A and B are shown apart, each in its own frame.
Chain A
Amino acid sequence: SQQGEEDPQALSIQEGENATMNCSYKTSINNLQWYRQNSGRGLVHLILIRSNEREKHSGRLRVTLDTSKKSSSLLITASRAADTASYFCATSPWSGAGSYQLTFGKGTKLSVIP
């Protein structure tokens, strides 16, 4: 069952620009996570934001969460060619042990042009 839907599906920017990706979901969540996947490789966890949080930062990443609109955004500032990857949001409706059950969106493919 697909919960998160990323937008846009693809994004191409110049190195140094900021990249913004959005995720919308349908049902109530306990937490929302963002992952990065380099072409054909395993997904790497970037950041987790809980339903009672509105914004979170990690290095050049900023994630916001609006539970009233059931949406989240991932901002990558001062992008680099190495940021070229697909980015996925994943949601969990459960707390505790159930929070491990994540539903992934289909991803945004980001291309950063040197």
Chain B
Amino acid sequence: EVQLVESGGGLVQPGGSLRLSCAASGFTFSSYDMHWVRQATGKGLEWVSAIGTAGDTYYPGSVKGRFTISRENAKNSLYLQMNSLRAGDTAVYYCAREQGETGELDYWGQGTLVTVSS
């Protein structure tokens, strides 16, 4: 059974940093592209980053230069290093697996809440 379990969320002050982790199991982690998607309370889904099997990374303009996605295949783990956090980064952060070649996300974790506040 495919499982994705996020951890590392919490309360952080504006300007601070946080590192999220996603533990994957039930599939060959190294063979799949992986993503982070976030959702502020009462708002829609917002894509945050992606990493390919070769380590290629992708970000939207809103987080590029502040967030860094990485993976450690030996540990079946995905990470998101978040720096220079702002109030607008407050959201539930989901990790998700990309199924195929066109960006569809077939499995999602349950999310971890990040709150940026003083």
- The reply to whether chain A is a binding partner of chain B is no
- On B, residues with C-beta under 8 Å from A are none
- On A, residues with C-beta under 8 Å from B are none
